Amino acid sequence: MSKFILKYGRDDRVKFISHLDFVRCFHRAVRRSKLRFEFSQGFNPHPVMTIAQPLPVAVTSEGDYMKVGLITGLSDEQVVDELNRAMPPGFTFYKARRLAAKEIDLTKINMAEYVAEIECTQRCDIDELMRNKELIVPKKTKSGVKDSDILPHIYEIEDLGYTDGIQTVRMVLSCGSGYNLRPETVVAAMERYCGGFKAEFTAVCRKRMLIDNNEIM
């Protein structure tokens, strides 16, 4: 048995699956494949599996990670093939790597890159937005909705263009258990600080997850 790190993503077809449903879906996929889970010891054994950061409903992804204990003699490439064969269409596994003990700590993930497509009334001037000294928006926390300055948590933000009423914005934001900033919250700041800008709908894709600006694998 060994620990694997897996990099995977999902497209529009399966983006409405909740985190828990995804976990169950993955369990079943492993049961359908040639792979076998490593089960936890104890009274109620369950597969050993850690997902870096739950993907919110309606968000697609090109770079999510999980660590999972699998019993298999297959090569890294074959593990990828097995999972792609066993998962429903819409999920893609990009990479797998057998890990040495304690290698890569997914809880250290602190940044993520997103591309948001925003259906809006007019283009938001991102440069002007970023010239503000602070960006205070109501943000959901465990103890309720509180005002929070999100500016220090926007590491990069870039306007990728505006066509047919849709503005596309790339952003690198705080992510993980420390401070998690969602692209929708940035859009809320755009609405608050850019006069006349009103977002009707935002579609988000998570592109990458990073530890201190470094690729995970």
Partner 1 sequence: MITLKDKILSRVMKPTRYTGGEMNAVTKDPSSVDIRFGFCFPDVYEVAMSHLGLKIIYHTLNTREDTYCERVFAPWEDMEQEMRNHGMRLFALESGDEVTRFDILGFTLQYELSYSNIVNMLDLAEIPVLAAERGEEYPIIYGGGPCAYNAEPIADIFDFFMLGEGEEQVHETMEILKAWKKDGKKSKKELLERLAENVEGIYVPSFYDVDYNEDGTVKSITRNNPHTPEKIRKRIMRDFDSTPAPDTIIVPFGEVIHDRVMLEVMRGCLRGCRFCQAGYIYRPLRERKPETLLGLADSLLSCSGYDEISLSSLSTSDFSGLPKLTEGLLKITEEKKIGLSLPSLRIDNFSLELMERVQKVRKTGITFACEAGTQRLRDVINKNVTEDDVLASTNLLFRGGWTNVKLYFMIGLPTETDEDLLGIPEIGKKILDVYFAIPKEERAKQINITMSASSFVPKPFTAFQWFGMNSREELRRKQRFIKENIPSKRLRFTYHDDSTSYLEGVFSRGDRRLCKAIITAVKRGCKFDAWGEFFDFDKWMGAIYDCGLDPDFYAARERSYDEILPWDHIDVGVTKKFLIAENERAKRGETTPNCRLKCSGCGAACFNAGVCVEKRDKEGAVE
Point out which residues bind partner 1 (CB under 8 A).
12-14, 16-18, 21, 24-25, 27-32, 39, 45, 57-58, 86-90, 117, 119, 166, 201, 203
Non-local (6+) Cβ contacts of 129 within 8 A are 135, 157, 189, 190, 193, 194
**Burial (CB count <10 Å: 0-12, 13-18, 19+), residue 44:** exposed
Comparing CA positions, the residue from 142, 123, 148, 137 lying closest to residue 192 is 137
